[in-house]
Structure 1
């Protein structure tokens, strides 16, 4: 299995779909499924009936996973960039293709 190019804690921008152009932080990465969960993006709403644990009921909002191909890493100037791996000082690091900056993590 290849190493994940987008990891938890990365700032990403959505490339396609209803949330196109919005940015957020990766809350969870699901590399086996090829999906990521981004805070505030792809929010699913469920109507919940009142129950003993939730007597009020109402709407339950949660972020749903989205395909990793729909997001790209964000550079310092807010533009999307691809990510590649390079070996620097004997370590394998993630590098932004547009700027050449090393990505933390």
Structure 2
């Protein structure tokens, strides 16, 4: 589930909005779903509340299963979808006392290009 994150540009690969691209607004990890800007829009009827909420019919994005979206990357000036892989890089970190040590960090990479996302 960590392959798709908030702010990523994704393309819908299955469902009624197939082919639509948008930015991930929210990731719902407990339900394996993402909310994508401009995708799976539904109309909700909202009642006015005492707190001053607006009444009426409101259009909002509903969650889409994470398996129905793919990350979009640019390859040779052309946008294409890719799967996400992970790579462990060795980095040098500094402790508060000034000493240094080697550690590893995980980075997301596009499997088509091998470049860091």
For the criterion TM > 0.5, the same-fold answer is: yes
Aligned counterpart, 2:110: 96
1:7-65 CA distance string (max 9 Å, x none): 0000000001111011000000011110000011111112345677467x432111101
> Please, what TM-score do these two structures have when normalized by structure 2?
0.76
Return the structure number with greater strand share.
2
Is 1:11 the counterpart of 2:48? The answer is: no
Taking the aligned partners of 1:51 and 1:30, their CA distance within structure 2 comes to 27
- Deviation per CA, 1:56-85, whole angstroms, max 9, x where unpaired? x43211110110000010011321100011
- Give the gaps of 5 or more residues in structure 1: none
User: Where does structure 1 differ by over 6 angstroms across 4 or more consecutive aligned residues?
Assistant: none
SS of the equivalent of 1:78 reads strand
**Radius of gyration: which is bigger?**
2
State the number of aligned residues: 100
CA RMSD of aligned residues (A): 1.8
* Structure with more relative contact order (C-alpha pairs < 8 Å, separation 6 or more): 1
